Structure 1
Amino acid sequence: MTYETVIGLEVHVELATKSKIFCACPTAFGQEANTQCCPVCMGLPGALPVLNRSVVDFALRACLATHCRVSQVTRFDRKNYFYPDLPKAYQISQLHQPIGTDGYLALPEGGRRIRLREIHIEEDAGKLVHDPWDDVTLIDYNRCGVPLLEIVSQPDLRSADEALAFLESLREILLFLGISDCRMQEGSLRADVNISVRPTGSETLGTRTEIKNMNSFKAIGRAIAAESSRQIEWLGQGRSVSQETRRWDENKDASFAMRAKEDAQDYRYFPDPDLPAVVIDDDWLERIRNSQLELPAVKRQRYQAAYELSAYEAAVLTTDPALSGLFEQTALLSGRPRDTAAWLMGEFLQAAKVRGSRPDELALKPADLARIIGLVDAGEINRTAARLVFQKVLDEGADPDAAVDAAGLRRLDDPQALRQAVQA
């Protein structure tokens, strides 16, 4: 018997707000432990939450970008469970009236639509820090109350490749809309992966397992492959798959059972009595719609039509907002979009890779790159010399013309100047 894998994703996205969802505490990453919390996000008696309006704005942008039906009235619920990183012993989330439902996201290859069940707003929990040397676990509450979107797909994905394509497309949308920085290494984007298998051709879903808090695309791909193989092997042996939550061990390349998988009723959801309903009127939604930034898929089409780039070039240049912005500004200044694309996809991205940096962390001005392209186009320097100048500009912030003259790289075409250079 052959089996197919069925995958659903629950993607948790930390929003790029300056303050938390229900209080004024900052959300900066990497600060000293327990220095960014207050009575509200710690759940102390008498502290009352006040909703950050920017959180709803970001949620609406995500809903519109993923074709969700926006709820005119959305409410918050309490999700009750006890865990050390949750000081209130409940999480403020949305169950009954999430902000967005029934959306979809099209995969880049073939355009197949992956349905989204819902997008809802919730708050993040704290972070457990395990110290293996002293055999203790410490708790950092800085992350408590950081605003999250949870984007929940239907079980429409059928392979690790499809799941990763979905996540990459979603990441691009969130980045280009400024909703999140999506830095997986910092926990800004993480996913719970629900996996089941069923006989090929069957419409009945198998028993699912959930692998929690995956924070790298590589690990997600390997976890899907491993868990799918494990379930198929168990069914082949006549054993049943248990509905459970599992954790992924990167070193052992395997998942391990944590606990039985809970259902909604296990969390005893009820409406949060401290937060009123949020009414999203037409004016609010229209304001968000009119200020929505260009989506990556639309930008790629424009690059191919306006700049005559290939589909591959357009795809590479729209993987990061900073890279895309640098391309557009440099192409405008230089008037040579194809050359601009070549420089950015070649020397620039190579420099970022060598340094282990993101495009926005490299100090390259559009005017400087445009000038380098202009010097090559005018025949004043050759491509080899241009690469040396590029490195000077990138490493030292040098002026392109000054770097050319300081290194004596400018091409001499005047016979008298050539004669003087030889005699010198």
Structure 2
Amino acid sequence: MTENSKLIQGRTGAWEIVMGLEIHAQVASKAKLFSGAAVGFGAGPNEQVSLIDAGFPGMLPTLNKYCVEQAVKSGLGLRAQINLKSQFDRKNYFYPDLPTGYQISQLYHPIVGEGVVEVEAEDGSFFNVGIERLHLEQDAGKLIHDLSPTESYVDLNRAGTALMEIVSRPDIRSPEEAVAYVKKIRTILIYLGTCDGDMEKGNLRADVNVSVCRAGNYDKFKETGDFSFLGTRCEIKNVNSFRFISQAIQYEARRQIEILEDGGSITQETRLFDAVKGETRSMRSKEEAQDYRYFPDPDLLPLVLEQAWIDEIKASLPELPDDKRRRFMSEYGLSQYDAGVLISEQAKADYFEAAAKGRDAKLVSNWVTNEVSARLAADSKDFSDNPLPAAHVAQLVELIETNVISSKIAKEVFDHVWNGEGSPAEVVEKHGLKQVTDTGAIEKAVDEIIAANPDKAAAVAEKPQAIGWFVGQVMKATGGKANPAAVNDILKTKLGL
């Protein structure tokens, strides 16, 4: 990503975008944060609600230890500080989907403190995003407005569901960087198994804080830490797709610049992104912390963790994306780009490794990231739903390596295999697709084509690249089965090159 992509040219000069993101990730837990009620997508309205979730008087919350463990694991994956002592607070506000009248969250003493995430940009360069905190909190319920023209309904299935809110520093400078950052956080959490990252179901969504300032002011902010160099920020709530994140930022930045260039000022507020119109619209003025009347939750003791337990969790962490990318580059000799594409999805990385054992890793990588990925995308599937065994890709590559089939024939073989006709070896045998390596048969085809085209053969001496025409004719005559290397060698001999 070039520096220029971080600038927007207005009527009165250049502007910079500055962003911090709050990612809300649903903890991959079967029970809620403070109750034993089930967590699951697709249940009927209010089927997964306990008395605690419904705010019945006298019901006391009990902290789910598993959710705490998942938060600690996520913090370690973000290379962040794990706080041995944290505290739950009540965030007080009244809304129909919050029956208690408050949300239990962590404002003053979060379970995870500062960290840093290294993110790969589109051009292969890297930038760091500081993590300010990760805290646990309970989700609210859901209002349903489309069942009646005059009434709204409340579904409390989500009420009390455990969320991890990951708050970044204002280190993100463009829509592309914002998308790359969210993708990286999502990938880390999926690798850790602490969140499934399903944005369509709302299990991972982002609040995007956008501000603009004059070019050069961001550097002054970094030098001094003085937030006055940055513009007034507006928060765009609950954006749940990468495309919408990019569109929302672009629209909001332009909106703010136009207001400032017209002599106006930005009102700090919460906004929503209208995906149909491609624009943000005001939701409510931005509340400050004191409006929520935060105070420590009297029903919950401070959370005290033992370092030995943290160390035990750390020792159990799986290989994370950055470590896997470095290993793929050193162990398999892949480029940074190829390794980055493979590790972007854990299932894709695992699939590659299963297919690459004993094979040409670069060739396997090409098949996995191109042909297999393209077929899955066309069928609206991802690698976790991949119907093609990794062993079939390994066998296909082996057939290419041993010159049983050519790379061109391999694509035809792959079509048959994908359509369920059997393994690559079975398809090659069934359809007679073995590569012709008999030099006598190839030489016979070469002689016939040269004899039939003496003028073209004579022209090759003056224009050697014309040999490509002969290669094509030989391949056509042999049904594409001739060994390309053998064809080239024989043609060069016969044509005196």
What's the TM-score once normalised by structure 1's chain length? 0.91
Shift of 1:405: 3.6
Q: Could you list the runs of 5+ residues in structure 2 that have no partner in the other structure? A: 1-12, 222-227, 440-497
1:305-336, Cα deviation, whole Å (9 max, x unpaired): 1111111111110110000001111112x432
1:231-254, Cα deviation, whole Å (9 max, x unpaired): 111112221211111111112221
One-letter code aligned to 2:107: L
Shift of 1:413: 6.9
Q: Residue 374 of structure 1 aligns with which residue?
A: 398
Shift of 1:57: 1.5
Shift of 1:412: 7.3
The CA distance in 1 between the partners of 2:66 and 2:73, in whole Å, is 11
The CA distance in 2 between the partners of 1:409 and 1:39, in whole Å, is 66
Q: Could you list the runs of 5+ residues in structure 1 that have no partner in the other structure? A: 416-424
CA gap 1:300/1:81 in 2 versus in 1, 3 angstroms: same
Q: Residue 268 of structure 2 aligns with which residue?
A: 243
Instruction: Number of aligned residue pairs: give it.
Output: 418
Matched residue SS, 2:90: strand
Contact (CA 8 Å) 1:363, 1:397: kept in 2 or not? no
Q: Residue 175 of structure 1 aligns with which residue?
A: 190
The CA distance in 1 between the partners of 2:382 and 2:151, in whole Å, is 35
Q: Residue 91 of structure 1 aligns with which residue?
A: 103
Q: Residue 295 of structure 1 aligns with which residue?
A: 320
Matched residue SS, 2:108: coil
Q: Residue 18 of structure 1 aligns with which residue?
A: 30
| Match status 1:149 vs 2:164 | yes
CA gap 1:412/1:195 in 2 versus in 1, 3 angstroms: closer
Q: Residue 79 of structure 1 aligns with which residue?
A: 91
CA gap 1:378/1:112 in 2 versus in 1, 3 angstroms: closer
1:140 is aligned, of 155, 160, 164, to 155
Shift of 1:341: 0.5
Q: Residue 106 of structure 1 aligns with which residue?
A: 118
| Match status 1:60 vs 2:84 | no
Q: Residue 422 of structure 1 aligns with which residue?
A: none
Shift of 1:10: 0.8
Over the aligned positions, Cα root-mean-square deviation in angstroms equals 2.5
The CA distance in 1 between the partners of 2:58 and 2:387, in whole Å, is 48
Matched residue SS, 2:133: strand
1:241-275, Cα deviation, whole Å (9 max, x unpaired): 11111111112221111111011111111212222
1:110-138, Cα deviation, whole Å (9 max, x unpaired): 44322221110111122223317735433
Q: Residue 420 of structure 2 aligns with which residue?
A: 396
The CA distance in 2 between the partners of 1:141 and 1:394, in whole Å, is 44
Shift of 1:407: 3.6
Q: Residue 344 of structure 1 aligns with which residue?
A: 368
1:175-217, Cα deviation, whole Å (9 max, x unpaired): 2222212111111111111112223333423221111111111
| Match status 1:315 vs 2:343 | no
CA gap 1:234/1:380 in 2 versus in 1, 3 angstroms: same
Shift of 1:42: 2.1
The CA distance in 2 between the partners of 1:394 and 1:275, in whole Å, is 55
1:361 is aligned, of 373, 381, 385, to 385
Shift of 1:99: 0.7
Contact (CA 8 Å) 2:421, 2:427: kept in 1 or not? no
Contact (CA 8 Å) 1:362, 1:394: kept in 2 or not? no
Whose RCO is larger (CA < 8 A, sep 6+)? 1
1:214-237, Cα deviation, whole Å (9 max, x unpaired): 111111112112111111111122
1:140-160, Cα deviation, whole Å (9 max, x unpaired): 222222211100112222222
What's the TM-score once normalised by structure 2's chain length? 0.78
Q: Which has the larger radius of gyration?
A: 2
Q: Residue 418 of structure 1 aligns with which residue?
A: none
